[in-house]
Structure 1
Amino acid sequence: MTEILKPTRRGLLRGAAALGATGAIASPLVLREARAQAAFNWKRFSGQSIDVLLVKNPRSDLFQAAEKEFTELTGIKVSSEQVPEQQQRQKAVIEFASGKPSFDVSAISLHVQKRMAAKGKWFADLSPMIKDASLTSPDFNFEDFGAGAVAYARQADGALDTLPYFVDYWMLYYNKELFDAKGVAYPKSMDEMAVAAAKLHDPAKGVAGFVSRGLKNANVPVWACLVLGQGIETTSAEGKLLTDTPEAIWAAELYKKLNKDTGPVGSVGFNWNECQTTFMQGRAAMWLDGIGFATPLEDPSKSRIVGKVGYGVTPPGPKAHHAGMFGDGIGISRGSAKKEAAWLYIQFITNKAQQLAMLKAGAGAPARSSAYLDTATIEASKFGKQYFDCLLNSAKIARAALPQIVPVTEFRDVFGVALTNAIGGADVAAELKKATEAFAPVLAKSEQG
Structure 2
Amino acid sequence: MTTMQRAPASPPSRFGAGVTRGPKAALAGLLAAVLTGTIPDAARAEGFDWKRYDGQTINLVLTDHPWSNAIREMAQPFTVKTGIKLRIAILNEDPQRARLNTLLQAKSSDVDVYVSLKIREGAVYNKAGWYADVTPMLTDPSQTAPVFELDDFGAGLIRNETFGGKLTGLPINVEGPLFYWREDIFAKCSVAVPEYLEDILGAARKIKACDPSIDAWAARGVRNAVPYPMAAFVFNSGGGFKSVDGTKPGLCRPESVAGLTLYTDLLKDYGPVGATNRSFPQVVELLGQGKVAMTHESSNEFPNIMKYSGREDDLGIKLLPKGRAGGVSQPIGFG
Gaps of 5+ in 2: 1-20, 25-45
- Residues 206 and 42 of structure 1: is their aligned pair in 2 closer, same or farther, counting only changes over 3 Å? farther
For residues 71 and 194 of structure 2, the distance between their equivalents in structure 1, rounded to whole angstroms, comes to 36
For residues 226 and 271 of structure 2, the distance between their equivalents in structure 1, rounded to whole angstroms, comes to 13
Structure with greater proportional helix content: 1
The amino acid of 2:22's aligned partner reads T
Aligned to 2:166: 159
Aligned to 1:2: 22
Gaps of 5+ in 1: 5-37, 328-449
Aligned to 1:46: 54
For residues 41 and 186 of structure 1, the distance between their equivalents in structure 2, rounded to whole angstroms, comes to 57
Aligned to 1:371: none
Aligned to 2:199: 192
- Residues 274 and 146 of structure 1: is their aligned pair in 2 closer, same or farther, counting only changes over 3 Å? same
Asked if 1:176 is matched to 2:183, the reply is: yes
SS in 1 for 2:292: coil
Aligned to 2:71: 63
SS in 2 for 1:282: coil
Aligned to 1:88: 96
Structure 1 residue corresponding to 2:236, chosen from 225, 229, 232: 229
Structure 2 residue corresponding to 1:310, chosen from 316, 326, 330: 316
RMSD: 2.2
1:231-380 alignment, distance < 5 Å: 231-235=238-242, 240-299=248-307, 302-317=308-323, 318-319=325-326, 320-327=328-335
For residues 69-95 of structure 1, what are the alpha-carbon distances to aligned partners after superposition, in whole Å with 9 as ceiling and x for unaligned?
111111110111111111211222232
By relative contact order (CA 8 Å, sep 6+), the higher-ranking structure is: 1
1:67-216 alignment, distance < 5 Å: 67-100=75-108, 102-155=110-163, 157-201=164-208, 204=211, 206-216=213-223
Q: How many residues align?
A: 291
1:1-20 alignment, distance < 5 Å: 1-2=21-22
For residues 232 and 123 of structure 2, the distance between their equivalents in structure 1, rounded to whole angstroms, comes to 21
For residues 152 and 127 of structure 2, the distance between their equivalents in structure 1, rounded to whole angstroms, comes to 28
For residues 63 and 100 of structure 1, the distance between their equivalents in structure 2, rounded to whole angstroms, comes to 22
For residues 294 and 272 of structure 1, the distance between their equivalents in structure 2, rounded to whole angstroms, comes to 12
Contact 1:297–1:303 at 8 Å: present in 2 too?
A: no
For residues 213 and 303 of structure 1, the distance between their equivalents in structure 2, rounded to whole angstroms, comes to 23
Offset, 1:205 = 5.0
Q: TM-score normalized by structure 2?
A: 0.80
- Residues 322 and 101 of structure 1: is their aligned pair in 2 closer, same or farther, counting only changes over 3 Å? farther
For residues 282 and 314 of structure 1, the distance between their equivalents in structure 2, rounded to whole angstroms, comes to 20
The amino acid of 1:294's aligned partner reads F
Offset, 1:2 = 3.0
The amino acid of 1:150's aligned partner reads I
SS in 2 for 1:326: coil
Q: TM-score normalized by structure 1?
A: 0.61
| Larger-gyration structure (1/2) | 1
